[in-house]
Amino acid sequence: MTQTRKMPGRSTTRYGHGPYFRRFATHFSLLLSLWLPCLAAEQPTFLRLTSARLFDTRSSIEDTPFLVCSDDTEANAVPGDSLLTSLSTEPKESSAATADQTGDMEYNRDFTPRTTSPVAPQKRQRNSDCPPDAAIAKFRKSCYQGISLSSFYMHDNTSTGLAITGVDLSTTLAVPLGSFDNLLLITPFFRPDFLDSAASLNLPSEVFETGVRGFWKRSINERLGTMVIVTPGMRTDFQNTDGAFRIFGLGLLTWQAVPETLSLSGGVVHTGREDFPLLPAFGLLWTPTPDWRFDIQFPSPRISHRIQKDGQNSETWAYLSGVFGGNSWAVERPDGARDEMTLRDYRLITGVEHVLAGNRSLFGEAGLVFGRSLEFTNSSETIDLDGTWMLRCGVTF
Query: 330, 244 in Cβ contact below 8 A?
Result: yes
Confidence (pLDDT) at 178: 72
Other C-beta atoms lying within 10 Å of the C-beta of residue 246: 24
Confidence (pLDDT) at 67: 35
Could you tell me the pLDDT band of residue 379, with boundaries at 50, 70 and 90? confident
Helix (DSSP H) and strand (DSSP E) numbers for the chain:
3, 17
- Per-residue pLDDT of 192-220, as tens digits, reads 999 999 999 999 999 999 999 999 988 88
For residue 104, give the H/E element and its range. helix 102-105
CA distances, 88 to each of 93, 103, 113, 243 (Å): 11, 15, 7, 35
Query: 199, 11 in Cβ contact below 8 A?
Result: yes
Choose the weakest-confidence range: 11-20, 177-186, 189-198, 209-218: 11-20
- Per-residue pLDDT of 64-95, as tens digits, reads 333 335 433 333 333 333 333 334 333 343 33
Judge whether residue 173 has pLDDT over 70: yes
Using alpha carbons only, give the angle 203, 207, 211 rounded to the nearest 5 degrees.
155
Give the mean model confidence (pLDDT) for residues 242-270: 95
Confidence (pLDDT) at 137: 81
Compute the distance between CA of residue 372 and CA of residue 386 in angstroms, rounded to an integer.
7
Q: Which of 178, 244, 170 is nearest to 214 (CA)?
A: 170
Q: What range does the domain containing 303 cover?
A: 16-396
In a domain, 8, yes or no: no
Total count of domains within the chain: 1
- 29 SS3 class: helix
Compute the distance between CA of residue 186 and CA of residue 192 in angstroms, rounded to an integer.
20
Confidence (pLDDT) at 130: 58
Give the mean model confidence (pLDDT) for residues 51-69: 33
Confidence (pLDDT) at 183: 76
In a domain, 9, yes or no: no
Using alpha carbons only, give the angle 98, 100, 102 rounded to the nearest 5 degrees.
85
Query: 209, 234 in Cβ contact below 8 A?
Result: yes
- Per-residue pLDDT of 325-358, as tens digits, reads 999 999 999 989 999 999 999 999 999 999 999 8
In a domain, 38, yes or no: yes
Compute the distance between CA of residue 69 and CA of residue 321 in angstroms, rounded to an integer.
32
In a domain, 5, yes or no: no
In a domain, 283, yes or no: yes
With pLDDT > 90 as the criterion, what percentage of the chain qualifies? 55
Give the mean model confidence (pLDDT) for residues 376-395: 93
